[in-house]
Structure 1
């Protein structure tokens, strides 16, 4: 014969087990969303691609150190070394030819993540920017399309490479043996 206190104990044990089951279920559903969230990484690389395109195209070579300082925070250390070398070479050519280049007002047209995993991503960014020179009468509008490679370094997405992507030209064909 079961006593009332024995039933209470059994009910409490069952209630604790049920609560524990619910708690483990909630942890199993909620906890993964705090881990390696691909959508969060996608947002971060998209934002970094936008920052990079704008920073690279907002320059005034009369003050190259400011430009280099802003770019440094967006690049991997190895890629910054390469950028620095190219930037100094550009500065030398401009000084030799007594030309000052400026670019600003970069407008992002679109950003798309081509691929992404835990520690790398490839992103396409399309944007317009205007480049002016103290030697030219008019500002030259430019359209850019870049493929940007990112590496996750100490939890931060940094540019490890970028290259210009050509536009795709189309033409009307005759349909005969093309």
Structure 2
């Protein structure tokens, strides 16, 4: 019996050490998992911000790149980046834009575009975009520069960021 007690006592430090090591491994695994999840979420959020910004910039460029010679194609290109209220608004105003551009023989060319994400929350974003456009027409054959600033609200639809609302900033 004394032998069994001695053997049990001599194995106890090994069990304590094994249990301690197991607890440390479990704790490190949990911490690594939590940190990995945070890094993954931060990367996803950064990717969402970049995708929303790119979609807003491209839509702003499309809105500022109109040519009376290809005006319907240009309008259709703008519409591909829109949804909801913005799409309805452009669809309604497109006849007026086509008529005015054709009559003036106007060509809009984007000279520069800058933008930044104002807010991002899940599947919605707000992006501010500034666009400098050169407008050449019969009335202004040398061109006139116009600076537009928009706040664009975007919605993620079927994995794509689309502009759902536009607002000019005075």
TM-score by length of 1: 0.74
Residue 10 of structure 1 deviates from its aligned partner by 4.7
Secondary structure at the counterpart of residue 69 of structure 2: coil
CA contact (8 A) 1:102 1:131 kept: yes
CA RMSD, 1 decimal: 2.7
Pairing of 1:44-63 with structure 2 (within 5 A): 44-63=51-70
Distance 2:121 2:90 in 1: 25
- 2:117 match: 113
Q: Is 2:103 the counterpart of 1:103?
A: no
TM-score by length of 2: 0.77
- Considering only CA atoms, is the larger Rg found in Structure 1 or Structure 2? 2
Distance 2:138 2:11 in 1: 93
Q: Is 2:96 the counterpart of 1:89?
A: yes
CA contact (8 A) 1:57 1:106 kept: no
Q: Is 2:41 the counterpart of 1:25?
A: no
Segments of structure 1 that go 5 or more residues without pairing to the other structure are 167-178
Residue 145 of structure 1 deviates from its aligned partner by 1.2
Distance 1:89 1:3 in 2: 93
Q: Which has the higher helix share?
A: 2
Secondary structure at the counterpart of residue 59 of structure 1: coil
